[in-house]
Amino acid sequence: MTPSLPDLREHLAGVQMSLDEIGEPLHSTTFVVVDLETTGGSPESCAITEIGAVKTRGGEVLGEFQTLVDPGSPIPPMIVALTGITDTMVVAAPRIEAVLPAFLEFLGDAVLVAHNARFDVGFLKAACRQHDYKWPGNEVVDTVMLARRATTKEEAPNKKLGTLARVFGTTVTPNHRALEDARATSEVLHGMLERLARFGITHREDLDALRNPVPEKLRKKATMADRMPSLPGVYAFRGPRGEHLYVGTSKNLRTRVKTYFTRGEQRRQIREMLELAVSVDAHVCATDLEARVVEVRMIEQHRPRYNRRSARPERTTWLALTDERYPRLKTIRSMDGEGALVGPMRGGGEARAAIEVAQQALGVRTCTTRLTIVPRADARACLLKDLGQCAAPCVRGAESGYDGAVDATRRALESDPSPVVDALQSAIESHAEKLDFERAAELRDGVSSLVEGVMRAQRLRSLRGVKLVAARRNGHGFDIASIVDGVLTGSARVTEGVWAACARLRDEWDEAPATALVEEREMLARWLEMPGTRIVMIDGEWASPVDGAGRHRQWVTARVSDREASAALPYAPGRRS
């Protein structure tokens, strides 16, 4: 099986990229330098009294943010003496919950800088957590850390802000007030960046190398990224014998590969992989969906030793009814295997739990003996017959009514597991009333595993025998995917000419595509179910909620219910909406 899609483009070897494409130059990076004044040193028991911040890019000040904050409690005398901020000054100031939205908007996606960043970021994170604001997770740079790399012990015996301000000759003197200290920190930051530029620290990605130093033998391998395109796709590290070591995806292949050698990779196995790697391949993909599918296919084909998901994919478990006169439930390892009904299950334990609850609720037999069509003369039933939990086809044959239990089991597993849920609800409640919580939890988890397995199987079966083209708005353009029998056969990203692009992908449909991996089918099903995804073509015809035909109608309308998506992608010309 090849990992390539019809329009998969190999990266252009030999094309020299500009220096800017290696990463984001520091002169183009937006920094927000922040300083806080607080009532004490613990973000859990103390509060912010003042926030000051300066936004800069390329040494130019873009804006400033400053406000006093009412901490909600008296300011300790020692803090008043240090900062000069008194209770009288903050009595009319806003509380932190009113200040945070404005500060987070000012911060945006800039790099957050602070002197002793652990202190300031700790207070900001605690405030967001206490007032239900999501912390944006911006990259953080600590000027104390930079100072350890940019200054000597002789010129800066300590790394206090006042000391560094004297070393770099800032125009603003730190005075324990938030905005003034933020201004001084900003000047110190740019002074240190100018000094570090002489040592090759010129891009935003290089700052990570300062935080987590990379061994020299790995830094020398960073040239592997030089010929990578700054485009989305799949990258594959190769070993000395050309073997695939690791496969991954990225929206910017060049930047992602470079980070492996500049950000101080801490994962032991990945560090080991980088030491073995001698080259890296790039596969440019039209869409993020295509990249993720190609990644899955390459991992399945090459089984890279450092990809976790490549280890023993054959362990995927499904539930099926055995092919015999009196079927029973069993586990199998293939979606397309004999009578697969439920799955994929998350593991062997969940599969066994699901089988147990189905047996108890539906009366399907638990014994593993292959029964004869006509019971033997000396056949004997087990205790479950006496307990009324099995129809005992082993002794009663066709007269046992076991066929009804099998039919009920097949219906429950193929379409509607509610009979299992209804049958075991009272059992779970009964065990709970008897304080047998362990057994109640076992049955509850078994029912949950069965229902989830049925849902996953239904989603995958919905792609079988279907040829479709779907589109989804992505920023100012559309991501378009062509899917045949659960296999991605092509994709495109366009800003105009949507209908023409859909028609091109339809023309590339393969009558007999490669067998889809379970992971690929699940990935495609999730993409189709995302809000905004619209099915454009089915079996070569334009599709709409009102003209979907025959067996596809229900499947189509279930995925064309989002009004915003329908408005964003009008129906094909000439079709009635």
Residue 259: CATH number of its domain: 3.40.1440.10
Question: What average pLDDT does this structure show over 34-43?
Answer: 94
Q: What is the reported pLDDT for 345?
A: 81
Q: Looking at mean pLDDT, say which of 273-287, 543-557, 558-572 comes out highest.
A: 273-287
Q: What is the reported pLDDT for 14?
A: 34
Residue 4 has pLDDT above 50, yes or no: no
Q: What is d(CA 551, CA 466) in angstroms, rounded to the nearest whole number?
A: 10
Reference 318, options 301, 340, 290, 350; nearest CA is 340
Reference 21, options 225, 306, 187; nearest CA is 225
Find the domain containing 397 and state its range.
315-454
* Ranges assigned E (strand) in 107-183: 111-114, 140-142
> Which of 283, 310, 337 is a domain's end point?
310
- The reply to whether 27 belongs to the active site is no
The answer to the question of residue 10 being in a domain is: no
Helix axes 402-414, 418-433, angle to 10 degrees: 100
Do 320 and 294 fall into the same domain?
Answer: no
Q: Is residue 295 within a helix (H) or strand (E), and if so which, with residue range?
A: helix 288-302
Cα distances from 342 to residues 314, 347, 403, 488, 520, in angstroms, run 16, 13, 20, 23, 17
46 or 565: which carries more pLDDT confidence? 46
Cis amide bond preceding 213, omega within 30: no
Do 281 and 327 fall into the same domain?
Answer: no
Strand order in the sheet with 279-284: 9-10, 279-284, 233-238, 244-250
The answer to the question of residue 105 being in a domain is: yes
Active-site choice (176, 203, 244, 302): 176
Q: According to DSSP H, which parts of 368-436 are helical?
A: 383-386, 393-396, 402-414, 418-433
Q: What is d(CA 291, CA 308) in angstroms, rounded to the nearest whole number?
A: 18
Long-range pairs for 74-77 at CB < 8 Å and ≥24 separation?
A: 75/39, 75/49, 76/39, 76/40
Q: What is d(CA 60, CA 384) in angstroms, rounded to the nearest whole number?
A: 81
> Which of 282, 310, 338 is a domain's end point?
310
Reference 126, options 36, 39, 32, 45; nearest CA is 45
Residue 110 has pLDDT above 90, yes or no: yes
Q: Which of 185-194, 320-329, 486-495 has the lowest mean pLDDT?
A: 320-329
76 or 559: which carries more pLDDT confidence? 76
Q: How many domains does the chain have?
A: 4
pLDDT digits (tens, 9 = 90+) for 324-339: 888 888 887 766 555 5
The answer to the question of residue 11 being in a domain is: no
The answer to the question of residue 1 being in a domain is: no
Tell me the pLDDT band of 515, cut-offs 50, 70 and 90.
Answer: low
What are residue 35's phi and psi, to 5 degrees? Answer: -140, 140
Q: Using the 8-state DSSP alphabet, how is residue 299 labeled? A: H
